Amino acid sequence: MRAIGLTRYLPIEDTDSLVDFELEIPKPLGRDLLVNIHAIAVNPIDTKIRKPKDKVEEVPKVLGWDAAGIVVDTGPEASLFNVGDKVFYAGELNRNGTNAEYQLVDERLVGHMPQTLTMEQGAALPLTSVTAWECLFDRLGILEDTAKNQGKSILIIGGAGGVGSIAIQLAKNVAGLQVITTASRPETIHWVKELGADEVINHREELIPQMKAHNIPLVDYILCNASTDEYYQAMVQLIKPQGKICALVDSEKPLNLTLLKAKSATFVWESMFTRSSFKTDDMIAQHHILERISRLIDHGTLKTTINEIKKPINAANLRAAHAQLESGTTIGKIVLSGWQ
């Protein structure tokens, strides 16, 4: 089967950073599904793992954590899906990724693809949808009840990216929160407003004066999809007493949690791969999240965040997608489709 991988960790400008190669089709065991992948999406985690370092892989390493495809075989213990089912998922870190024609994935991490979407539209959703859902409803403990959330607000730092684009919709359409998000360019401001943001502030300027100008000096929840170090001090000041902050991006220096003590505020990390990496008892929660996302898409409550499609799936196009992500200007999701 065709696949894209790496043996050396190189700058994306180097044509050897991601290369086309052939790989044997694996066989499903246990609760595995064997999926014929039709479309993939790229995420910051792809570029983070691929970034240059002094390490050489003896066997090409396949990256990728977003896919849509069709189940072609199942392991003996799999029971949630049938051969022929259209599925979408993000997979896990310690197995070969989605940048291959066929992939094994544990069924507990997989959802039935929305019936109203194309493969490309479906591939844009899994990692960011699961991440945004876990941030809001698992980590921040927000209720899926618009009536009980009346008067409550959330600040989403980094609204135009993949996670932010889903989080805005979930916070607004499922939780009923007042949504304030950040964007700095006309096209990203338009994007987040179309997704449902009530107020937009510029993350390239001081956040606190802008929030005061909007008469929103404090918020109940903060989701930070950007540099935790850069925005931590502002988040400490903007969070309400007993409020909650969730962050995605690793800090490069220790965070002073004592600053949150007077407010009895919560700070929590989110990693979408926690459940799969540690094989937690509730690992199947990601299957349920994707099933819920699928229904919300089909009911029109949410919409896909795809913004660009590259064809076909090959190393050259994947390198171009990585380069776009690393530029820091991507809106929504970049998807690759079709093997040639």
Averaged pLDDT for residues 133-156? 97
Predicted confidence at residue 258, as pLDDT, reads: 98
Direct distance between the N- and C-terminal alpha carbons of the chain, in angstroms, rounded to an integer: 11
Of 25, 24, 31, nearest in space to 74 by CA: 31
Query: Does residue 197 carry a pLDDT above 90?
Result: yes
Rounded to an integer, the average pLDDT of 60-74 is 98
The CATH code of the domain at 2-125+282-337 is 3.90.180.10
Residue 170, token pair as written in the block: 């979930």
Q: For the domain with range 129-269, which CATH number is right: 2.60.120.10, 3.40.980.10, 3.40.50.720, 3.40.640.10?
A: 3.40.50.720
- Beta bridge partners of residue 89, listed in sequence order: 67, 110
* Interatomic CA distance for residues 156 and 328, integer angstroms: 17
pLDDT-based confidence at residue 329 (cuts at 50, 70, 90)? confident
Q: Mean pLDDT over residues 68-77, rounded?
A: 98
Cα distance between residue 332 and residue 279, in whole Å: 30
Question: What is the reported pLDDT for 202?
Answer: 97
Instruction: Write out pLDDT tens, residues 246-294.
Output: 999 999 999 999 999 999 999 999 999 999 999 999 999 999 999 999 9
Q: Span 128-133, mean pLDDT?
A: 98
Instruction: Provide the residue ranges of all domains of the chain, joining segments of one domain with +.
Output: 2-125+282-337, 129-269
Q: Helices 186-195 and 162-169 sit at what angle, rounded to 10 degrees?
A: 40
Mean pLDDT of 32-43: 98
The whole-number average pLDDT for the span 8-21 is 97
- Does 101 score more than 90 pLDDT? yes
- The model carries a pTM of 0.96
- Give CB contacts under 8 A, 24+ apart, made by 133-138: 133/166, 133/170, 133/289, 133/292, 133/293, 134/270, 134/272, 134/289, 135/163, 135/167, 135/223, 135/246, 135/248, 135/270, 136/167, 136/170, 136/171, 136/175, 136/221, 136/223, 137/170, 137/175, 138/285
| Residue 340, pLDDT score | 80
* Residue whose token pair is 């969070």: 239
Q: For residue 328, what pLDDT is reported?
A: 86
